[in-house]
Chains A and B, each alone.
Chain A
Amino acid sequence: MKIKLNLGAISEPLQSEKLKTGDWGTHYPVVDKERCTGCKTCMQYCPDFCIEVKEVGKERYAVVDYNYCKGCGICSSVCPFEAIKMELKDIFKV
């Protein structure tokens, strides 16, 4: 079967989103909806663009897209309200 080969290795935009990097990390962030004020600080600093403030009913809080989260912990460390905790994934618990 013939593959399609783009001239000169030119690539289409945003193809990286096919790659789910969510299994890279050992830890994952958990948002405490009570403490989260929806200030978007985490959103601005996330290197993987996978935490977003969403409005759910009357509430606004950060929601993590675990498909891409590499578990770096930046969101947790920059949160001004200590609303994000990093937890060890079950498979790494001995």
Chain B
Amino acid sequence: MKKVVRGFYSVAYSVKLCKPNVICAYPITPQTEIVENLAAMYANGELGDAEYITAESEFGAASILVGASAAGARVFTATCSQGLILMSEVLFNAAGMRLPIVLVNTNRALSAPLSIWNDHQDSMAMRDAGIMQVYVENNQEAHDMIPQAYKVAENKKVLLPFMVCMDGYKLTHAYEPVDLLEQEMVDSFLPPYEPAAYLTTEKPLAFGCYAPPHIYMEFRVAMQQAMERAKEVMLEVFKEWAEVSGRDWGGHITLDFPESKIFVVAMGSVVGLLRKVVEELKSEGLSVGLIKIRTFRPFPVEELREALKDAEKVIVLDRSVSFGYEGPVSIDLKSAIYGYSSAEIYSFAVGLGGRDMPKDFLAKIIRDVAEGKEKPGFAFKGHQEFEEVIP
């Protein structure tokens, strides 16, 4: 059933259909309306036997989900920005404990200065936690991604947390037509959660044991192997989703105009606008293609190698920066294609803290690279020239 809804609702409604047992809420802009929508459903008795817990902080919310997930529950929370990094200690822990927690991150900048607006600095800070990260382009993809996230995370070959990343404001606050899923369809796609091992007095297992040097490393190797298996499991799940929903969002990456000489690589909501820009430049005769990275973790190494093997120039648009180096997507992309492609890499950090990225701005970046006006390497784009002074 197609309805015009906000991004918040597209997520909340999909979460409801996945029948989580425990939902945790802590407010933070621009996430709050997701858990508000769920609270309204809870208040109206629409969440079955689920428990809806108003946590005392994002740190508490993540911790509650660790306990609930270990006890065998399907769980959900949403957060972003300061909230996500406040959760980070627990999220690293949850990944090591191999708990299939699903959360939505409504991407937002980090402080200081405080900014409630969109970029990817928050989720990038969680890059090494052992959490799967998928970036969605629009609210239909966010809506569709929730059942898929549970299905991947709960797969016994995977068992890692899954974070669906959607751009704050750009998607969360946007009204878009979304084809809302039917309960029956979700039920048949996503069976009830059957935990591999859980807290029970029937079989008293201990979770969260510590590991001395003779055995710690093996558990971290096991996490990497789980991530590698997740790549395969994701493809199976994405494919199944395309079949049952009729909407094919692609694999770990999507590739427009594969025969191009120049490629633009980006993640999240900017991809929609970039597609228009690339189409227009293409019609002007520019040999430019577009790569949308959907799964940032696990990173689509082989897919990028294949897609970029004959590329001459690659433009990476990062919504984040690793200070002292460059954008994290660019860093990962370079290391992935090293030895497989001789393309020059143009790495740009754009749109930090909600800085606008209009069509002309994006088109200019691509044209400048195409015309040789840019040098390979890293640069910020879209900021004002300034001189830093001490007041």
Contact = CB atoms under 8 A, between A and B. Distances in A.
A10 B72 CA distance: 14
Interface string A1-29: 00101011111110000000000000000
B313 interface: no
Contact of B222 (A5, A11, A12, A13): A5
B218 A10 contact: no
B96 A8 contact: yes
A45 to B, nearest CB: 25
Interface centre among A3, A8, A9, A12 (most CB of B within 10 A): A8
B219 A13 contact: no
Interface string B172-214: 0000000000000000000000001100000011111111000
A9 B223 CA distance: 11
Contacts, number: 38
A3 B217 CA distance: 13
Contacts of A12: 205-206
Interface residues on B, range: 10 to 19
Interface residues of A, number: 9
Interface of B: 96-99, 159, 196-197, 204-211, 215, 218-219, 222
Contacts of B206: 10-13
Nearest to B96: A8
B218 A8 contact: no
B205 A9 contact: no
Contact of A3 (B98, B209, B210, B218): B218
Nearest to A14: B204
A72 B4 CA distance: 72
B211 A9 contact: yes
Contacts of A13: 204-206
Given A9-B219, A10-B205, 4 more contacts: A8-B97, A8-B159, A9-B208, A10-B206
Interface centre among B159, B206, B210 (most CB of A within 10 A): B206
A8 B98 contact: yes
A10 B219 CA distance: 11
Nearest to B204: A13
